[in-house]
Structure 1
């Protein structure tokens, strides 16, 4: 083949430069590799061309041949292993140009099924000191061997190829890192959402809904349900459903241990993923199949090593859950399980507290009011007997009975003030507090005042106003029962972010270390009501110095 003139070579290199600039700008690694090998074959006018790509350990990870028929490629049991001339090219890290492959002492032949080849040109693809791969060409068209100009052109292409491959790898690494960061952000969002839900709420339904919604959004699934263990310890009952499918997922709302997906997960304590929901036809509703459900997964809700519930999610197509996702979901469901159990135990404790409070009230009524009424009865009976013999003594006993009845009436009113269920009628908190203070004044025959803004705190959420009302009711009841106060002052005011309520009395006060004994369940109720809407309660008191209850709630939800 005739040697190119200097002008022809420069023109050829200029053309290669333009093509290589397009190559370097391409950020898709697979596309870059394909374009490199085709451009090399075209520029060197070779019958065959191939490109091998190495990983960081120097092992061949990609082999892209061009010029061989598809049938010829399929006949090869494996790509070249990097022996012979290819091994020398990799070892020496410099261009190899061979007239006849079979006559070169470094040659070890071809893989089985490989077509025969003669002339060879191999150029390493370098980036700095790193060997990224190799370009090798065989069987020069129209000539017996590749020329020095071919060598120079392919070396130039290899230099551009090194930059292009490195750029593409960097972009792929950045993309994978961005995807990894996005995934981590999604994981952190799920953790934060669930953690917020289970730490800020004592409402079981709210915790279940937020946990289920968070997991569904994380997995990007359409439907979900939660089953919780019944009090009998062997049945799991549907308590929460969310999704696009019309109705519940299963044909029943209660599963026994070991029965169906729910029972199996409850019994094993292990997650369950079904890629073929057809075998679950016995328990899944037919409507669910008709609406396109193709994938179901269930996760145990664990608490102290036991399954207290099962969360199940379903989707119209298969969802792949990798190992990190599985570990995260296991942690989330464990948190949820522990929180759910704590809420259930708290509800049980509250029910027990109600029973204890009823018992206490019964004892108080028996030892206090009933005994007072009994004393009145005795006084009246004495007056009846003495009426004919000593009218003055009878009159004194009747007056004593009247005083006793008045005291008993006040005691009964105090109990009514403490026990009667109340609702916040309307949205004017101040009117309702005023009614509460008036009732306290009448029932206790002591002085009581209310200081509040004139605007009625328009815009305060009803749930927040209701919480303050009940806290005031509880605080006044405690004053009536325990404080022996001559005066109580109720103040209501607002800041930019909060509405505050203060109930202060001039009663006997108490030692804060004995607060739980003095205030009983009332203080606990006040704290629960305030915290349920995002607020809190603080109590200050000392023997002989009265008591102040300060409560606050957020001004907005």
Structure 2
């Protein structure tokens, strides 16, 4: 016989189970959001989305279909299907059957047996058998971005309302993460193109000045030759030759800078490592280069472009002016941000004694402007005979917000 106390205990246990399950779902969603925040490349974000959706729902298989701006399927990623099975399936789906139906829906779809659904068209040869189905659209500001496809829940039971709800909530997070990754990629492309234009303009202006200088010297040499002043002509020819060699080196460095860029498929770490490796040739065999560069620097695209250029310009300054035996590039993650240090043991200079008209020539003003343009700080430590150290600090966004809150 069931007593009121027994009923109350049963209700309490059921309520406790519901609360525990909801807490577990919220924890899983929070962890999923943190995982998504770690990724910035669009391809990495998409793969992470499909992997996390499979884990959250307990599905054996998961897929993510992405739409382009015209509403056509542009990408299809899977999770739970190994490479051999994926290869045996053949071409990617074209947006028909249940897949196409989901791309047109605005609400989730749960099916206990896929073959019974009127939109089902079966599977191609080599495709694993699938029974239960949960489809969830991914939408951003009312616009269809893609859809999640989850099949065969662990244990053989069909997907339930709880599965649908947690994947639906996650799809909202996924939509924002995907959009952020796409925007980051667009910003990066724009930043790189802007920087390419700037470098090209600098090369053009520099060459124009050199050619004008050489033309003036050539006219002077011609006049000295007419006047039989061979010594003066030789001196001017030496100056012309040195100017031409310097221009040649700067053009080669400019081409290297144009070729070495960050982008969606190349991290700042990779770009810096490649640049430093090739720049060793310009420094010469007598100069040793040391480097410590982390794989992940947690910078936005604009910051990456400016840090790359600051390091490039610092090394160019070292080649032109330092006469150093050792050059060091060290990038380290501090508690409140990223610290970039480029140092050498060369002849150094007195920063306070640099004339304003010489300041841009040394590139210091440009580097300072680059650092400040992305919220950073710029410092130079140097003394005659004691080398030079360029230090750039880029604060974390959280550190900036904290300082603003305290002020």
Q: Shared topology, TM-score over 0.5? A: yes
How far off its partner does 1:318 sit? 5.0
Give the match's secondary structure for 2:186.
helix
Cα deviation 1:27-74 (Å, max 9, x = unaligned): xxxxxx3xxxxxxxxxxxxxxxxxxx6xxxxxxxxxxxxxxxxxxxxx
Distance 2:366 2:26 in 1: 40
Pair 1:241 & 2:73 matched: no
* Aligned equivalent of 1:369: 207
2:312 to 460, 477, 500: 477
Residue by residue, what CA displacement relative to the aligned partner does 1:248-295 show, whole Å, maximum 9, x if unpaired? Answer: 898852545xx433333333322222333224442633544xx44112
- Any idea what the Cα deviations from partners look like across 1:486-508, whole Å, max 9, x if unmatched? 65974759999999763358757
Say yes or no: does 1:264 pair with 2:115: no
Which residue does the alignment assign to 2:370? 519
Matched ranges for 1:128-147 at <5 A: none
Q: Which has the larger radius of gyration?
A: 1
Contact 2:367 2:378 in 1 (8 A): no
For the residues of structure 1 that align with 2:276 and 2:140, how far apart are their CA atoms?
A: 47
**Alignment pair present for 1:309 and 2:146:** yes
Q: C-alpha distance in 1, partners of 2:373/2:295?
A: 19
Aligned twin of 1:63: none
Whether 1:209 and 2:47 are equivalent positions in the alignment is: yes
Contact 2:112 2:159 in 1 (8 A): no
2:27 alignment partner, SS class: helix
Return the alpha-carbon distance in structure 2 between the equivalents of residues 287 and 234 of structure 1: 28
Aligned-pair RMSD on alpha carbons?
A: 5.0
The residue number in structure 2 matching 1:358 is 196
Indicate conservation of the 8 Å contact 1:223/1:242, yes or no: yes
Q: Structure 2 vs 1, CA of residues 548 and 499 (structure 1 numbering), >3 Å: closer, same or farther?
A: closer
Aligned equivalent of 1:173: 11
Gaps of 5+ in 1: 1-32, 34-52, 54-161, 424-430, 525-536, 553-557
1:19-168 equivalences in 2 (<5 Å): 33=1, 162=3, 166=5, 168=6
- Quickly say closer, same or farther: Cα 1:269–1:396, change in 2 above 3 A: same
Alignment of 1:310-459 (within 5 A): 310-315=147-152, 317-322=156-161, 325-373=163-211, 375-377=213-215, 379-380=217-218, 383=221, 387-392=225-230, 393-415=232-254, 418-419=257-258, 421=260
Q: Which residue of 1 aligns with 2:405?
A: none
The offset of 1:222, in angstroms, is 0.5
In structure 2, do the counterparts of structure 1 residues 213 and 185 end up closer, same or farther at CA, with 3 Å as the change threshold? farther
Residue 224 (structure 1) aligns with: 62
Q: Determine the C-alpha separation between the residues in 1 that align with 2:253 and 2:26.
A: 52
In the alignment, the residues of structure 1 paired with residue 213 and residue 195 of structure 2 have an alpha-carbon distance, to the nearest angstrom, of 26
Corresponding position: 1:285 with 2:120: no
Larger RCO, structure (CA 8 Å, separation 6 or more):
2
Q: Relative to total residues, which structure has the larger helix share, 1 or 2?
A: 2
Partner SS, residue 314 of structure 1: strand
Evaluate the alpha carbon distance shift between residue 394 and residue 198 of structure 1 in structure 2; reply closer, same or farther with a 3 A threshold. same
